[in-house]
Structure 1
Amino acid sequence: MKNLFKKITLLAVCITVFSCSDDDTTPQQTITDIAVSNPDFSILVQALTRAELAGVLDGSGQYTVFAPTNDAFNTFFALLGPNVNVTNVDLPTLKSILLNHVIEGEIKSANIPASSYQSTLSPFSSAAGAPTISMFIQKAGSTVTINGGPGVEGNLRKGVIVAAADIDASNGVIHVVNRVIQIPNIVDHAISNPNFTSLVAALTRAGNTTNFAGILSGTTSSPFTVFAPTNTAFSAALTELSFANLAAIPEPALDKILKYHVIAGANVRASALPTNPVDQITFLGQTFKIGTSGGAKITDFNLRVSNIIATDVQCSNGVIHVLDKVLVPNLN
């Protein structure tokens, strides 16, 4: 009888332990679950549902989502026109914008480097297998900015600041953003990266014959493939060409130099670059040789060799590849 009592007592303890364990174990919410449970994400939930994307973020994959609040969406809709809201905004636009807030794989704030490009899920075009739009992420201290941040009054950008980070979900992580991340064109991406301030200054220099900023922001003659020299590359070129600064370059020469870095009518990704050097015609009408044998590089008219040091920054109207040296065409 005494042994029986001990067994019954032990069984009761086991049942209590397992019951408590079951009560304490709550399945972790998915990204969609978290959005649905937060009233500040009600427009995001409506948008995901209308675009038929809620199921994607309710699945088993791992994603990083930069989630705009209701205020962020309302600000964005106001930019599109009066009376635009989540129920009547153009559906393809809405879907593209939503996918532009999602990166495949989980990236916690602690793992964000000082600066990097990431691929969103937003396709560059409607073609099957189209590349997806790039996102430029920067972190300084605890502050994380996307695509250069929102800018300031009078000089607004299409980027955002992360307002709250690391809301953990079963299928990834949510970072709350203060604005909707608009899809960047070539000029937007150039402006957002501090390594391209010299390039932006050259493109927007007063007195340019060609409206480079306007052309590379638009879709006429697009898509474009732009080979973008860094600030260091521009500094070296000024010394090499004996100019004190960008303002000292004669306008006809600067016009030719900038056009020489652009291929019009083609979105040439790194995977499509030729192995053996071939002539490539540029927006200027002159050619340079480009190839990947022994490393991706371009040989310009003057037989100067520039290395392609980063590739495939995908924009809405083309792609950017980064150069370590300015290309110099025939300036005569």
Structure 2
Amino acid sequence: MHEPTFVRVNGVQLEVFEAGREHAGNPMVLCHGWPEHAYSWRHQVPALAAAGYHVIVPNQRGFGNSSRPAAVTDYDIEHLTGDLVALLEHYGYADATFVGHDWGAFVVWGLALLHPERVRGLVALSLPYQERGDTPWIEAMAAAAGPDFYFVHFNRRPGVADAVLDAHPERFLRNLFRRDAPPVMSMVDLAQAEQPLGEPVMRDDELAVFVAAFAASGFTGGINWYRNLDRDWHQLAAADPVVRRPALMIYGDRDAILRSERLAEFVPDVEVVSLDCGHWIQQELPDETNQAILSWAARLQQRPEHREVQGHAGAHARDE
């Protein structure tokens, strides 16, 4: 990962890492999840840049050294997707290929609904497209999983989990970034557990990067993404629910997140890849993840409409 730059967009400042800027006109934006960081893509950045992409990796609002607004509503889907649109404009691009993992996948799916003209194609890791349904998401989760499920707990008991995680960042992250661990119901319990379960996803020196980042920023900014889920549900109500862009869905066979049984109904132009790993897909199997993304992206670039758009975007970026 190169040294970051700081970019003022959409009323916030984002810490942005990039590589392959010489490949103007072929941007790929990588969007991390929670509780993660741009560093989550450390295995992808060099491979994608070497393959001819201008790789742009922001620490999204609330994470790393990016801005952490105080208002909870500043972390809703309109703000998060607005940051990505403004980031494209900063670099002089009309659109890009977007890759998102976990919460980053939710934001990328939302971008394809709210700003489809900005998305050439998208790759989602772990989290498939989420149907809105008739009930706001947190309300539905509370009914299905109870008040202690961490999505619900974050919303119904504001500040409680934040304080526990802030007090134990190293223990919490060490316990969370594991392979073959049981599904997590309570992040508070996980942060207080003395003995981690499963095998570590990363080396101690890699984990230290995440620990230092969250020790400095705290966890509230990222948790505020969860606190907007029902607000997001309302904001997406008017959008066409069908993603009309090419997409790649990468599942981990041992991930606790459920697969979508109706993915192709909502994302007609989707390819699906399954890898033998858990939730932290691009960190557990980096080479396989890179191959899946690059193979799909190569097929995407062969489409006539993609080649035409890429040529126009490259000229625009050079003019900027």
Regarding TM over 0.5, the answer is no
In the superposition, the TM-score normalised over structure 1's length comes to 0.22
Larger radius of gyration: 1
- Structure with bigger RCO (C-alpha 8 Å, 6+ apart): 2
Task: Looking at secondary structure, tell me which structure has more strand per residue.
Answer: 1
Task: Looking at secondary structure, tell me which structure has more helix per residue.
Answer: 2
